[in-house]
Chains A and B, each alone.
Chain A
Amino acid sequence: MTSPNTLATIRFGTGLRPEFPAASPEAMLAALSEPDQMVTAFPLDSYETRAAFRIEYTRLQRARNDSEEAEAAFRDIRDALNREVLNQMAVTLARGVADPHGLRERLVWFWADHFTTVGGRGFMRGAIAAYIDEQIRPHVAGRFGDMLEAAILHPVMVLYLDQERSYGPNSLTGQRRGASLNENLARELLELHTVGADGGYTQDDVRQMAELLTGLGVTRDGALAFRPNNAEPGAETVMGNSYGGDGQARLADIRAALHDLAIRPETAAHVSRKLADHFLSDTPDPGLVADMQAVWMETGGDLAAVTATLLTHPAAMTPGPGRVKQPLHFLASALRALEVPPEGVIRAPLHRLRNLAARPMAAMGQGWQNASGPDGYFDDDAEWIGPQTLAARIAWCMTVPSELRPQLPDPRAFARDALGDAAPPDLQLAAARAESRIEGVGLVLASPAFQRS
């Protein structure tokens, strides 16, 4: 019989780790208001540092043909960039491995995916982890409106969704160059980040939102810019609310619109549903979603309260097959069960990070920082488990654990380490029958009980 703590740690955290007791939903939620220890223990570069790196990178790239030394210097910095991207993956995994239960990491992964950015254009390159750490992470138990503002008003998002190329048709720049709007960010802001595709907005709302967002850009140093010369003059009306129009366009008008969107009932419904969907199932209990939505509206989008509603709702604690773990989640939980030390993940040589984590995750359908679009990774079990992607998961289970631990545990004991009282009888049987430790441990990790949460 699966205990509530086991269930909560597997479903809402990063899984069991023998050294830690399974955590109750209440304990997991309480930890969210404690200082963020993982970001202190396993820090990453700030966006500022990454931006400075990017400037140096561009300088060396331009100079690479000047001399052999310049070519070598460029190669060095390119290698450093590739190392850094893998390091970001290692740190992300290490935090998931080290935390006593991992709820905060799961929430960071969810919200980072909600505000997905992908790619290496300009200042984005090498900076996505910093964007997540600085814009998303501090707000996972804060206000959705603050997270929305932090994510949208950041150079990485501005670049990703082409906002720096959007000009008010009647702005000074628009008039001078005949430049016009790019609706990309405005549309995704409504469709993906806030009210949702069925949130009742019209094409006119998208256009108004796009006009409101004009002026956003990125400085030569990689900082967020607001350029009134690019901004469409006059007021914009988005979903019934009017912004600006009294004098020069201001960043404050955009902020006001974002905070209004954050507490709309459509946003509360769309994002609550997505959150429940991510952690529970394609068809989350309607009562649960309604409760989350109500709390969202009562608290003005307080994500700690909304998350607490999710974790403590009876419908969230139904035992049985849960969501298929996304590959990042699966790897982190497997490393926990295998008691891989987080420091070992951080210190792993690049080829091991590449071969034991990055490539396998890509083969499982989740390339590192490589979602296919701004809608991020899908929350659809069937999309994650196909013949090839399941083969990739099985392959990892059967080959990688022995690379990580010279002495694998007895599979019968490992089933208990990995799943505690959630280990189903057939899994205990299979673990006991496996031909060898490698295969027994592999079977435990490849089993639906472990692959699902």
Chain B
Amino acid sequence: MSRLTRRDLLLRASAIGCSAAASPLMTPVAFASAPTDNRLVVIILRGAMDGLDLVQPYGDPDFSGYRPDFAIGPAAGAQDLDGFFALHPGLGDLMPLWQAGELGFAHAVSTPYRNQRSHFDGQDLLEAGTGAETVGRSYEDGWLNRLVQTLPGATRETALAVGREEALILRGAAPSVAWSPASRLGLTPATADLLGMLYHDDPLFREAFEDAEFYSDLLHGAFDGGDMEDGEMMEAMADSISASNRSVTARSLASFAAERLREDARIASFSLGGWDTHRGQVNRMGGALRHLSSAISELRSGLGPDWDRTVVLAMTEFGRTVRQNGSAGTDHGTGSALVMAGGAIRGGRVVGDWPGLGQGDLFADRDLMPTRDVRAYAAWAMAGLFGTDRAALEGQIFPGLDLGPDPGLLR
């Protein structure tokens, strides 16, 4: 698809003998290239990311006692951040960003969703950006779409949804572009577990599925064809698995987003899964974080000079239980962490009021107590990036939100 450049438009405007701004023939596309120079990327971490494992409060004396089988703190391989928090090694590749002040976190955050802990309702609320009273409703639009509606000169190209599923976060009155890379199967470990459960009592399916785990590359989404042993069969499978033969990886999602953000897009969103770590969390969390790590790295390299004008927010529908469960995992919880990256942020720090993990500190005696609405951070980021005013943030984009004090997220 050809895109109009500013130069094309100016040439066209002069050819028809009037200024672009005055011409009724010019649609807002004429100004598409720059409703703003700043960029916002929102990554939805679907499945409830364990903020306590990502940004480990190893300095909290109560923490390690809840999770005897977990690797916690610098002594167990995490990267010390500030003497209290340590970063899970799965994001270790991003330490240079932390040191450069281009990576930061907000801890003990959540949406207004409480107590029910359903992924779908929680994700809907996260993307709708509305209050707890709307849980279970059918949503018409998402908060990024409502943000786009406030941007003067925004066009269809301004906002971009990347991925297989139409994201609620960008659905709504403001037109946006959706791009779906041809997808290849990548069962997350949690999904494989659920399938295993469904197949358990059906010997035919159970045995075939167990044998299929032999093709673990296939089931875990790393199907590169490098070690094909049975060429024809694998080819047939690959055909069945992908709409064409490209694979969807975190990197490819980020790469495409970055490419478009270098052009006319200013806002992009995509999702990463694999966070529902009910068991074997030590391995599973690492796997999911490596995808997040490669997405952020790819955004940074793909955005080039525009990285300095970019904020990346990676947020999840809710956190996980403070205590490990009986299968070395964690169950659905409440408070989690927000990941912030980009050259525009003032990173190198973990912001937020730490609620503590002692007796009486936990939400419902099980979850990290949220001390701030994750929407407030997103709102302050938008205020800094796009000059979005308080009335729009509290009324339109995040109805009912109390912005609270400015956490000074941007440089």
Residues of A within 8 A of B (CB): 321, 324, 355-356, 359-360, 362-364, 381-382, 385-392, 394-396, 398-399, 402-403, 406-408, 410-412, 426-427, 429-430, 432-440, 442-443, 446-449, 451-452
Question: Is B353 close to A, CB under 8 A?
Answer: no
A446 touches B184 (CB 8 A): no
A391 touches B204 (CB 8 A): no
* Option from A324, A429, A430, A435 in Cβ contact (under 8 Å) with B273: A435
Least CB distance from A419 to B in Å reads: 12
Least CB distance from B268 to A in Å reads: 18
**B188 neighbours in A (Cβ, 8 Å):** 435, 439
| Complexed CA–CA distance, A381 and B185 (Å) | 24
A392 touches B237 (CB 8 A): yes
List the 6 shortest-distance A-B pairs measured between CB atoms, nearest first. A363-B240, A435-B47, A387-B211, A406-B166, A395-B241, A392-B240
| Complexed CA–CA distance, A448 and B209 (Å) | 12
| Complexed CA–CA distance, A362 and B184 (Å) | 17
- Indicate the member of A356, A388, A406 with the most B CB atoms within 10 Å: A388
Quick one: given A426-B198, A433-B276, A435-B47, are A442 and B240 in contact (CB under 8 Å)? no
Chain A residue with minimal CB distance to B47?
A: A435
B187 touches A430 (CB 8 A): no
**B120 neighbours in A (Cβ, 8 Å):** 410-412, 436-437, 440
Interface residues of B in 240-264 (CB under 8 A from A): 240-244
Least CB distance from A371 to B in Å reads: 17
| Complexed CA–CA distance, A398 and B205 (Å) | 17
| Complexed CA–CA distance, A241 and B237 (Å) | 51
B237 touches A443 (CB 8 A): no
**A359 neighbours in B (Cβ, 8 Å):** 239-240
Q: Please list 25 pairs of residues, one from A and one from B, whose beta carbons are closer than 8 Å in the complex, sorted by A's number.
A: A359-B240, A362-B240, A364-B240, A386-B208, A388-B212, A390-B212, A391-B212, A392-B240, A392-B241, A399-B164, A399-B184, A402-B180, A406-B165, A407-B165, A407-B171, A426-B197, A427-B198, A433-B276, A435-B119, A435-B276, A436-B47, A436-B120, A443-B195, A447-B198, A448-B202
Least CB distance from A401 to B in Å reads: 9
Interface residues of B in 190-245 (CB under 8 A from A): 190-191, 194-195, 197-199, 201-202, 204-205, 208-209, 211-212, 214-215, 218-219, 233, 236-237, 239-244
Question: Is B396 close to A, CB under 8 A?
Answer: no
A434 touches B191 (CB 8 A): yes
* Option from A386, A426, A433, A434 in Cβ contact (under 8 Å) with B211: A386
Least CB distance from B30 to A in Å reads: 29
A403 touches B208 (CB 8 A): no
A436 touches B273 (CB 8 A): yes
B164 touches A438 (CB 8 A): yes
Least CB distance from A63 to B in Å reads: 34
B195 touches A399 (CB 8 A): no
**B184 neighbours in A (Cβ, 8 Å):** 399
Question: Is B271 close to A, CB under 8 A?
Answer: yes
Quick one: given A434-B119, A435-B188, are A387 and B215 in contact (CB under 8 Å)? yes
B239 touches A443 (CB 8 A): no
B236 touches A362 (CB 8 A): yes
* Option from B191, B208, B240, B271 in Cβ contact (under 8 Å) with A396: B240
| Complexed CA–CA distance, A165 and B37 (Å) | 76
**B190 neighbours in A (Cβ, 8 Å):** 433, 435
Chain B residue with minimal CB distance to A358?
A: B239
A402 touches B240 (CB 8 A): no
A399 touches B183 (CB 8 A): yes
* Option from B187, B208, B243 in Cβ contact (under 8 Å) with A390: B208
* Option from A364, A390, A436, A447 in Cβ contact (under 8 Å) with B271: A436
Quick one: given A356-B243, A390-B208, A440-B120, are A433 and B194 in contact (CB under 8 Å)? yes
| Complexed CA–CA distance, A432 and B116 (Å) | 12
Least CB distance from A285 to B in Å reads: 20
Least CB distance from B126 to A in Å reads: 12
Least CB distance from A395 to B in Å reads: 4
- Indicate the member of B47, B187, B198, B208 with the most A CB atoms within 10 Å: B198
| Complexed CA–CA distance, A437 and B44 (Å) | 13
**B185 neighbours in A (Cβ, 8 Å):** 391, 394-395, 398-399
B123 touches A391 (CB 8 A): no
Chain A residue with minimal CB distance to B163?
A: A402
| Complexed CA–CA distance, A298 and B347 (Å) | 85
Chain B residue with minimal CB distance to A321?
A: B202
B218 touches A439 (CB 8 A): no
